Amino acid sequence: MQSSFCHILIESVINILTLVYFIKSGFILFKKKYKENAMNSEIYNIVKGKITTNNLSAYKAQIQKMKEAAKDEVGTLIYDFFINEKEKEFLIIEKYTNGEAFMKHMKKFSSPEYILKLLTMQELTSVEIPGVITNEMKDLFSKNGWIYKNYPINL
């Protein structure tokens, strides 16, 4: 009787461990697939150009204002500015969870107090967008006359 009970107990433990293994394996596969999908939908925006203003203090203040405004945006993963004062050049690196987050950011930042003001202090020389561009993004760039290079394939 006791060996029968032990046999049932061991069999139950094996079944539970097998179930835990399959649940864990399924979760890992789900996480991997979710991560792959997330990576495929992420959008980067890399902007380079020349600083045209002589008032670097005002330029830096505008950048700080924009960084502060982007800090709590849902879907904005990276929003960084880099400048080379000697060469009067800038580099902006942005990363968004997807095209929808990018467009939400651009709608907010297209107001006169953000991008339009910044464009009075700088000149764009290149815009590169790694990631799959949505039709809405294409329309935005076309409407504003912004030329960009796109790199849609993430290896």
Q: Are both 80 and 128 inside the same structural domain? A: yes
**Mean pLDDT for the chain?**
86
Alpha helices in 71-114 (DSSP H): 99-109
- Which tens digits make up the pLDDT trace of 49-98? 999 999 999 999 999 999 999 999 999 999 999 999 999 999 999 999 99
CATH code where residue 50 lies: 3.30.70.100
Q: Are both 58 and 94 inside the same structural domain? A: yes
DSSP characters over 40-77? HH-EEEEEEEEE--S-HHHHHHHHHHHHHHHTT-TTEE
Q: Are both 80 and 58 inside the same structural domain? A: yes
The closest of 35, 45, 43 to 132, measured between CA atoms, is 43
Q: Are both 103 and 127 inside the same structural domain? A: yes
pLDDT(36) > 60: no
What is the pLDDT confidence band of residue 14, given thresholds at 50, 70 and 90? confident
Domain range for 10: 1-41
Tokens 């202090």 sit on residue: 121
Sign of the dihedral through C-alpha 107, 95, 123, 89: positive
Distance CA 29, CA 48 (A): 39
Q: How many domains does the chain have?
A: 2
- In 10 A of CB 152, how many CB atoms? 10
pTM: 0.73
Q: Are both 12 and 65 inside the same structural domain? A: no
